[in-house]
Protein backbone atom coordinates (compact mmCIF):
# COMPACT_ATOMS: atom_id res chain seq x y z
CA UNK A 1 0.00 0.00 0.00
CA UNK A 2 2.38 2.73 -1.04
CA UNK A 3 2.20 5.64 -3.37
CA UNK A 4 -0.74 7.90 -4.05
CA UNK A 5 -1.45 9.21 -0.55
CA UNK A 6 1.20 9.76 2.11
CA UNK A 7 -0.08 10.93 5.47
CA UNK A 8 2.36 12.16 8.06
CA UNK A 9 1.14 12.68 11.64
CA UNK A 10 -2.30 13.77 10.48
CA UNK A 11 -4.73 14.85 13.20
CA UNK A 12 -8.21 16.30 12.92
CA UNK A 13 -9.88 18.03 15.84
CA UNK A 14 -13.42 19.34 16.06
CA UNK A 15 -13.38 21.77 18.99
CA UNK A 16 -11.76 19.76 21.78
CA UNK A 17 -12.74 16.39 20.26
CA UNK A 18 -10.04 14.45 18.44
CA UNK A 19 -11.52 12.67 15.41
CA UNK A 20 -8.16 11.54 13.99
CA UNK A 21 -5.03 11.25 16.07
CA UNK A 22 -1.56 11.31 14.46
CA UNK A 23 -2.15 9.10 11.42
CA UNK A 24 0.97 8.13 9.50
CA UNK A 25 0.11 6.01 6.51
CA UNK A 26 0.68 5.35 2.81
CA UNK A 27 -2.05 4.32 0.41
CA UNK A 28 -1.41 3.40 -3.20
CA UNK A 29 -2.60 0.02 -4.21
CA UNK A 30 -6.29 -0.71 -3.63
CA UNK A 31 -9.06 -1.37 -3.12
CA UNK A 32 -8.72 -0.43 0.54
CA UNK A 33 -11.43 -0.98 3.17
CA UNK A 34 -11.65 1.41 6.12
CA UNK A 35 -12.92 -0.50 9.12
CA UNK A 36 -13.81 0.45 12.66
CA UNK A 37 -16.63 1.04 15.12
CA UNK A 38 -18.98 4.00 14.75
CA UNK A 39 -17.08 7.16 15.62
CA UNK A 40 -13.68 5.62 14.82
CA UNK A 41 -12.94 8.36 12.27
CA UNK A 42 -13.64 6.68 8.91
CA UNK A 43 -15.80 9.45 7.41
CA UNK A 44 -13.44 12.10 8.74
CA UNK A 45 -10.48 10.38 7.07
CA UNK A 46 -12.36 10.10 3.76
CA UNK A 47 -13.22 13.82 3.86
CA UNK A 48 -9.55 14.68 4.38
CA UNK A 49 -8.49 12.37 1.52
CA UNK A 50 -11.10 14.05 -0.72
CA UNK A 51 -9.74 17.49 0.15
CA UNK A 52 -13.13 18.50 1.53
CA UNK A 53 -11.62 19.29 4.93
CA UNK A 54 -8.06 20.11 5.96
CA UNK A 55 -6.19 18.41 8.81
CA UNK A 56 -5.73 20.34 12.07
CA UNK A 57 -2.06 19.29 12.00
CA UNK A 58 0.25 17.04 10.01
CA UNK A 59 0.57 16.75 6.22
CA UNK A 60 -1.30 14.92 3.52
CA UNK A 61 0.70 14.35 0.36
CA UNK A 62 -1.29 13.45 -2.75
CA UNK A 63 0.67 12.32 -5.81
CA UNK A 64 3.84 13.98 -4.51
CA UNK A 65 2.17 17.32 -3.71
CA UNK A 66 1.48 18.42 -0.12
CA UNK A 67 -2.10 19.54 0.38
CA UNK A 68 -2.48 23.22 1.13
CA UNK A 69 -5.35 25.64 0.62
CA UNK A 70 -3.82 26.29 -2.82
CA UNK A 71 -3.17 22.72 -3.99
CA UNK A 72 -6.36 21.21 -2.58
CA UNK A 73 -8.34 22.24 -5.69
CA UNK A 74 -6.41 19.69 -7.72
CA UNK A 75 -7.35 16.93 -5.27
CA UNK A 76 -11.02 17.92 -5.50
CA UNK A 77 -10.82 17.66 -9.29
CA UNK A 78 -9.07 14.28 -9.24
CA UNK A 79 -10.85 12.57 -6.37
CA UNK A 80 -14.60 11.88 -6.06
CA UNK A 81 -16.33 11.04 -2.82
CA UNK A 82 -19.66 9.30 -2.48
CA UNK A 83 -21.44 10.07 0.79
CA UNK A 84 -23.45 7.62 2.82
CA UNK A 85 -26.57 9.72 2.36
CA UNK A 86 -26.76 10.56 -1.35
CA UNK A 87 -27.06 14.28 -2.03
CA UNK A 88 -29.23 15.13 -5.05
CA UNK A 89 -30.11 18.54 -6.48
CA UNK A 90 -33.80 19.31 -6.93
CA UNK A 91 -33.47 18.88 -10.72
CA UNK A 92 -33.74 16.07 -13.23
CA UNK A 93 -31.47 13.04 -13.00
CA UNK A 94 -29.76 14.13 -16.22
CA UNK A 95 -29.08 17.64 -14.90
CA UNK A 96 -27.68 16.13 -11.70
CA UNK A 97 -25.17 14.12 -13.71
CA UNK A 98 -24.26 16.75 -16.33
CA UNK A 99 -23.80 19.52 -13.73
CA UNK A 100 -20.20 18.66 -12.84
CA UNK A 101 -19.23 18.32 -16.50
CA UNK A 102 -20.76 21.67 -17.42
CA UNK A 103 -18.98 23.58 -14.66
CA UNK A 104 -15.78 22.04 -16.00
CA UNK A 105 -16.62 23.67 -19.35
CA UNK A 106 -18.01 20.75 -21.37
CA UNK A 107 -20.69 21.66 -23.93
CA UNK A 108 -24.26 20.50 -23.35
CA UNK A 109 -24.39 17.90 -26.08
CA UNK A 110 -21.21 16.12 -25.04
CA UNK A 111 -22.15 16.35 -21.35
CA UNK A 112 -25.55 14.75 -22.10
CA UNK A 113 -23.89 11.93 -24.04
CA UNK A 114 -21.41 11.19 -21.25
CA UNK A 115 -24.08 11.43 -18.56
CA UNK A 116 -26.36 9.05 -20.47
CA UNK A 117 -23.53 6.51 -20.72
CA UNK A 118 -22.80 6.82 -16.98
CA UNK A 119 -26.50 6.40 -16.16
CA UNK A 120 -26.76 3.36 -18.42
CA UNK A 121 -23.78 1.73 -16.73
CA UNK A 122 -25.70 2.05 -13.45
CA UNK A 123 -28.86 0.65 -15.04
CA UNK A 124 -30.62 4.01 -14.94
CA UNK A 125 -31.71 4.22 -18.57
CA UNK A 126 -35.09 5.94 -18.75
CA UNK A 127 -34.50 7.85 -15.50
CA UNK A 128 -33.04 10.93 -17.24
CA UNK A 129 -36.10 13.18 -16.87
CA UNK A 130 -37.20 12.04 -13.42
CA UNK A 131 -36.68 14.42 -10.50
CA UNK A 132 -33.62 13.13 -8.63
CA UNK A 133 -34.95 14.07 -5.20
CA UNK A 134 -38.09 11.99 -5.77
CA UNK A 135 -36.19 8.73 -6.40
CA UNK A 136 -35.77 5.96 -3.84
CA UNK A 137 -32.64 5.85 -1.69
CA UNK A 138 -31.08 3.09 -3.79
CA UNK A 139 -31.82 4.91 -7.04
CA UNK A 140 -30.43 8.16 -5.65
CA UNK A 141 -27.28 6.35 -4.55
CA UNK A 142 -26.85 5.05 -8.11
CA UNK A 143 -27.38 8.58 -9.52
CA UNK A 144 -24.79 9.88 -7.04
CA UNK A 145 -22.31 7.24 -8.21
CA UNK A 146 -23.02 8.11 -11.87
CA UNK A 147 -22.39 11.78 -11.00
CA UNK A 148 -19.08 10.87 -9.36
CA UNK A 149 -17.89 8.54 -12.15
CA UNK A 150 -18.87 10.75 -15.08
CA UNK A 151 -16.09 13.12 -13.98
CA UNK A 152 -13.60 10.31 -14.59
CA UNK A 153 -11.86 10.64 -11.23
CA UNK A 154 -8.55 8.92 -10.54
CA UNK A 155 -9.61 8.04 -7.00
CA UNK A 156 -13.04 7.07 -5.70
CA UNK A 157 -13.83 7.38 -2.00
CA UNK A 158 -16.97 5.63 -0.85
CA UNK A 159 -18.61 6.06 2.54
CA UNK A 160 -20.75 3.01 3.28
CA UNK A 161 -22.11 2.93 -0.27
CA UNK A 162 -24.33 -0.13 0.12
CA UNK A 163 -25.74 0.34 3.61
CA UNK A 164 -29.55 0.53 3.55
CA UNK A 165 -29.71 -0.77 -0.02
CA UNK A 166 -31.63 -3.81 -1.21
CA UNK A 167 -29.49 -6.64 -2.66
CA UNK A 168 -30.20 -5.65 -6.30
CA UNK A 169 -29.20 -2.00 -5.82
CA UNK A 170 -26.20 -3.05 -3.75
CA UNK A 171 -25.11 -5.45 -6.52
CA UNK A 172 -25.21 -2.74 -9.22
CA UNK A 173 -23.18 -0.41 -6.99
CA UNK A 174 -20.71 -3.20 -6.11
CA UNK A 175 -20.17 -4.24 -9.73
CA UNK A 176 -19.61 -0.62 -10.79
CA UNK A 177 -17.05 -0.16 -8.01
CA UNK A 178 -15.29 -3.39 -9.02
CA UNK A 179 -15.07 -2.23 -12.64
CA UNK A 180 -13.67 1.18 -11.63
CA UNK A 181 -11.21 -0.48 -9.23
CA UNK A 182 -9.57 -2.44 -12.05
CA UNK A 183 -7.76 0.71 -13.12
CA UNK A 184 -8.12 3.20 -10.28
CA UNK A 185 -7.76 3.55 -6.54
CA UNK A 186 -10.86 2.86 -4.45
CA UNK A 187 -11.10 3.46 -0.70
CA UNK A 188 -14.30 2.27 0.89
CA UNK A 189 -15.65 2.59 4.39
CA UNK A 190 -18.12 -0.14 5.21
CA UNK A 191 -19.56 -2.17 8.08
CA UNK A 192 -20.49 -4.97 5.71
CA UNK A 193 -17.88 -7.75 6.01
CA UNK A 194 -19.21 -9.49 2.92
CA UNK A 195 -18.61 -6.31 0.91
CA UNK A 196 -15.17 -5.95 2.45
CA UNK A 197 -14.22 -9.42 1.25
CA UNK A 198 -15.79 -8.96 -2.17
CA UNK A 199 -14.46 -5.46 -2.83
CA UNK A 200 -11.21 -4.89 -0.98
CA UNK A 201 -7.69 -6.25 -1.04
CA UNK A 202 -6.31 -4.21 1.85
CA UNK A 203 -7.80 -3.00 5.13
CA UNK A 204 -7.08 -0.23 7.59
CA UNK A 205 -8.57 -0.64 11.05
CA UNK A 206 -9.23 2.57 12.99
CA UNK A 207 -10.21 2.87 16.63
CA UNK A 208 -10.77 6.17 18.49
CA UNK A 209 -9.16 8.08 15.62
CA UNK A 210 -6.00 5.96 15.63
CA UNK A 211 -4.69 3.31 13.26
CA UNK A 212 -4.62 0.01 15.10
CA UNK A 213 -3.77 -2.22 12.14
CA UNK A 214 -3.21 -2.32 8.40
CA UNK A 215 -2.74 -5.31 6.14
CA UNK A 216 -4.39 -7.60 3.67
CA UNK A 217 -8.01 -8.55 4.28
CA UNK A 218 -6.98 -12.04 5.35
CA UNK A 219 -4.32 -10.66 7.74
CA UNK A 220 -6.84 -8.40 9.40
CA UNK A 221 -10.09 -10.32 9.27
CA UNK A 222 -8.99 -13.97 9.36
CA UNK A 223 -5.84 -13.78 11.46
CA UNK A 224 -6.11 -10.65 13.59
CA UNK A 225 -3.25 -10.45 16.07
CA UNK A 226 -4.41 -7.37 17.94
CA UNK A 227 -7.05 -8.04 20.62
CA UNK A 228 -8.96 -4.89 19.62
CA UNK A 229 -9.30 -6.07 16.02
CA UNK A 230 -10.28 -9.56 17.19
CA UNK A 231 -13.10 -8.03 19.26
CA UNK A 232 -14.28 -5.92 16.32
CA UNK A 233 -14.24 -8.85 13.91
CA UNK A 234 -16.17 -10.98 16.41
CA UNK A 235 -18.81 -8.27 16.78
CA UNK A 236 -18.06 -7.45 20.41
CA UNK A 237 -17.74 -4.08 22.15
Residues of this chain that bind ligand ATP (CB under 6 A) = 14, 17, 19, 36, 38-44
CB burial string 17-31: b at 16+ within 10 A, e below: ebbbbebebebeebb
Of the pair 38, 129, the CB lying nearest ligand ATP is at 38
Contact 48, 28 (CB under 8 A): no
Q: Could you say which DSSP state residue 152 is in?
A: -
Calpha distance 58→60 (Å, rounded): 7
Of the pair 31, 41, the CB lying nearest ligand ATP is at 41
Of the pair 80, 96, the CB lying nearest Mg ion is at 80
**How many residues lie near Mg ion (CB under 5 A)?**
2
Which listed option, Mg ion, ligand ATP, none, makes contact with residue 121 (CB within 5 to 8 Å by class)? none
Which listed option, Mg ion, ligand ATP, none, makes contact with residue 17 (CB within 5 to 8 Å by class)? ligand ATP
Q: How far is the CB of 160 from ligand ATP (least distance, A)?
A: 7
Q: How far is the CB of 41 from ligand ATP (least distance, A)?
A: 4
Contact 11, 22 (CB under 8 A): yes
Q: Determine the residue with CB nearest Mg ion.
A: 43
Which listed option, ligand ATP, Mg ion, none, makes contact with residue 215 (CB within 5 to 8 Å by class)? none
Alpha helices in the chain (DSSP H): 42-49, 72-78, 93-103, 108-121, 137-149, 167-181, 193-199, 217, 227-233
- List the interface residues with Mg ion, window 11-50 (CB under 5 A): 42-43
Q: Is 192 in the site for Mg ion (CB under 5 A)?
A: no
Contact 183, 30 (CB under 8 A): no
Q: How far is the CB of 51 from ligand ATP (least distance, A)?
A: 16
Calpha distance 189→213 (Å, rounded): 15
Binding-site ranges for Mg ion (CB under 5 A):
42-43
Amino acid sequence: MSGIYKLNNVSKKYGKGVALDCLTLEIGDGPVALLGYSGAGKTTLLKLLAGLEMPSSGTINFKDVDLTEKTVQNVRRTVSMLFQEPISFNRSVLENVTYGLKIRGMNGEEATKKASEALASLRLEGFENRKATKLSGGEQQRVALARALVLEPEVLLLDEPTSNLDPANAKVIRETIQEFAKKNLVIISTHNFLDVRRLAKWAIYLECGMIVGTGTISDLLDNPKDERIKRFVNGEF
